[in-house]
Amino acid sequence: MARKFFGTDGIRGRTNAGHMTAEMAMRVGQAAGRFFVRGAHRHRVVIGKDTRLSGYMMESALVAGFTSVGVDVIMTGPLPTPAIALLTREMRADLGVMISASHNPYADNGIKLFGPDGFKLSDEAEAEIERLIESPVVLAPAEQIGRARRIEDARGRYIHAVKQSVAAEIRFDGLKVVVDCAHGAAYQVAPSAIWELGADVIAMGVTPNGTNINDGVGSTAIAALQERVVAEGAHIGIALDGDADRLIVVDEAGRAVDGDQIMALIATRMHEKGALRGGGVVATVMSNLGLERYLATLGLTLERAKVGDRYVLEMMKAGGFNVGGEQSGHMILLDHATTGDGTVAALRVLASLVRSGKPASELLHVFDPVPQLLKNVRYAGGKPLENASVKAVIADAESELAGTGRLVIRPSGTEPVIRVMAEGDDRAEVEAVVARICAAVEAAA
C-alpha cells in the first residue's frame, strides 16, 4: 500500500522541511484526532517526546491540532517511545503520540502514533489518517475545544512498570553497569530503573541540550561506550537509541553484542522455562543466518518479517509469538510491552547475567554468526533496482549463494538508499557478491 506521509515508522524527516513542519504536525493532530473521535466521551491523547530542540515546536503544533478538533491532551515531556505506548493504554487514552526521529540526528524529527491498545497503527489506519490530512478540517465548536495539561508522574509510572519485567527476587547488587542513553528520551528513566534494582550505574549520554541526541553516543555510535566499559572495569554496557526502543550491549571486554544475540539469549531462557510462545522467534530478513541455525538446534523456528519493528510485531501477533526483534536492537517482548523497549530488554539481559554468574562475553555469545556484510548505495533518483543489468547481477549472486547463504536487497524506507546485504559461510564470496551488486546499482543510479 503506497503511503504519502507515513514511512515504516511514522512520519519522519528533516525539521522545517518537507513533511516535518509545524503546519504538518497540526494537521496530523487534527486528522488523527478526527480518526479516533468515536462516541460521546471526552477523548484524550497522550503526547511524549525525546530531547530534540524541535520537540517543543512539534509538541505545541500537535496540541493545537488535537485541541482544535475537541481532543484533550496529556503531555509527559521526554520519555521513551515504549513509555508512551504503555501510558496510552494505562490512562485509557484514545491514542498516543511520540515525537521522535529515533536514532537520527537532532535536525530530524518524527511523529509516531499508537492506538488505544498501545500498539502502532496498521497500514490501513495510517492510510485513512493520510486521507484526513488532505481533507478539509472539521473544527470543534468553541465550547468543545480540548484542554491540555502536563503530568508529573509519568516517569515514575514507567520506571515501576519496567522493573516488573524481571522476577521479584532478582537484584543487580554487585553489578557495575555503564548505561548510555544517547542524550535521548531515556536519560532519566533508564539509569534510575537499573540503579533502583541495585546496580552500580555509570551513566553517560544523560545531558541533553537539544542538539546532541545520538551525537557520538547511543546504540548507533557505541565506541565511547566500549571505551568506558573497559576503562571503568564494568561488567557490561547498555546502549539505547534516541527514543530508547532499541538496545545494543557491550560486554566486559568492550565487544559489541547485537540484537540477534540478545534475542537468542532471551528466547533460550524463556524456552527453558516453558514461557516462549509461538514455537520460536520473529525477526526480519536482516537477522543473521547463524541465529536461524541456532534456534533450529533447540527445535525452534525463526520467522522473518519485512524490515521494521511494526512488521515484526504484526507477525508476532498473527502467530502467537511473544519474542521478536531486529538485529539493529529493537526487542519486542509482548509479555511486558506493546512495542520495542530497550530498557525492558536490558533488564532481562542483566537478570540473566545475575542468574548465570557468567561474564557477559560468555553469556552473550549464544551462537556463531555467519559472515554478513551490509552496504548502502545512495542514489539521486529513479528506481535502480528495476534496471535490467542490476537485475542480472542480482540473479547471478542469488545462484552463487544458493544453499550456503542469503541475499537481501531493499530500498530504505526513510532515505534514497539501496541496502545490499549478503551472508554465507564463505566471507570472501560474500564480500565479492556485495561489491558486484553495489557497483551495478551505482552504475544504474
Domains of the chain by start residue, with CATH:
11-153 (3.40.120.10), 167-256 (3.40.120.10), 259-341 (3.40.120.10), 372-444 (3.30.310.50)
In a 13 Å sphere around the CA of 93, the CA atoms on its Cβ side amount to 28
Check residue 414 and give its pLDDT.
66
- In DSSP terms, 411 is beta-bridged to 418
Of 265, 258, 248, 256, give the one whose Cα is nearest residue 351.
265
Tell me which residues are annotated as active site: 102
Nearest C-alpha neighbor of 375 from the set 344, 409, 335: 409
What pLDDT is attached to residue 7? 82
Q: Cα–Cα distance between 228 and 224 in angstroms, integer?
A: 6
Contact 375, 434 (CB under 8 A): yes
For the entire predicted model, the pTM comes to 0.91
The pLDDT of residue 39: 82
In Å, what is the CA distance from 81 to each residue of 17, 239, 377? 23, 15, 30
First to last CA, the chain: 25
Q: How high is the pLDDT of residue 2?
A: 61
d(CA 125, CA 115): 10
pLDDT attached to residue 21: 97
For residues 228 and 202, the answer to whether their CB atoms sit within 8 Å is: yes
Q: Are 163 and 196 in contact (CB under 8 A)?
A: yes
> Which pLDDT does position 211 carry in this prediction?
98
CA-based nearest residue to 367, from 429, 285, 441, 291: 291
The rounded average pLDDT for each run of 10 residues, N- to C-terminus, in the chain (445 residues) is 77 93 97 91 96 98 98 98 97 97 96 96 92 95 97 97 95 98 98 98 98 97 98 98 97 97 97 97 95 97 92 95 96 95 98 97 96 92 88 93 90 84 94 94 86
Let me know the angle formed at the C-alpha of 280 by 275 and 283, rounded to the nearest 5 degrees: 120
284 neighbors 305 (Cβ within 8 angstroms) = yes
